[in-house]
Amino acid sequence: MPWIRAGIHIAAVFLGSAALLAWGQADDPARSILKGAAVEYLYPEQVTVAAGKANLVVLHFRVAPGMHINSHTPKDEFLIPTVFSIPEGAGVRLADVSYPVGTEFILPLDPGNKLSVYTGEFAIQARIVAEPGNHLVEAKLRFQACDKNECLPPKTIPVAIDVIGK
């Protein structure tokens, strides 16, 4: 039954070619939404603050090239805002947070709809109150990243900060 063996070989070649094609598309720069982290926490990794008092800490982030995330105040109630938070019980609490003003962005597919987004590098100003001592805080940044054609599901990334309250 050589024709069965030939059929199996052809199917294997077809499936292998399809897998290589799909793999190649994932590496295509035009498909940047599939590569790497959409948002990266840059710094600070450690801060020393006055214990028991509100202290300003500026947190720096970078949005991947070709991507954007909704600002903290998106123009549509159905869009997911960018939100920074510190969990309870971390030895540090968030007294206040100030977000940058978003940049206006127009989607090529919907020129009548203007979005408020962050692109490139941006900074969030957090006023934190720390208890005395050393606290490894696992803060969080929640956002939804998109490129000009599609959006990823909402994501929360860790924002690790070693806070020393003196």
Please state, as a whole number, how many other Cβ atoms lie within 10 Å of the Cβ of residue 102.
22
Which sequence spans correspond to the domains of the chain? 1-35, 36-165
In this structure, the number of other CB atoms found within 10 A of the CB of residue 123 comes to 15
Question: Around Cβ 8, how many Cβ atoms within 10 Å?
Answer: 10
Query: What is the pLDDT, as a whole number, of residue 75?
Result: 87
Question: What pLDDT does 35 receive?
Answer: 55
Q: Are 88 and 19 in contact (CB under 8 A)?
A: no
Q: State how far the alpha carbon of 77 is from the alpha carbons of 80, 81, 84, 156, in Å.
A: 8, 9, 18, 19
CATH of 36-165 among 2.60.40.1250, 3.30.1360.170, 2.160.20.10, 1.10.600.10: 2.60.40.1250
So what's the pLDDT on residue 9?
A: 38
pLDDT lower than 50: segments of the chain:
1-34
CA distance 160 to 42: 10
Cα radius of gyration rounded to whole Å, the chain? 22
Give the type of residue at 65: P
H-helix or E-strand spanning residue 159: strand 155-165
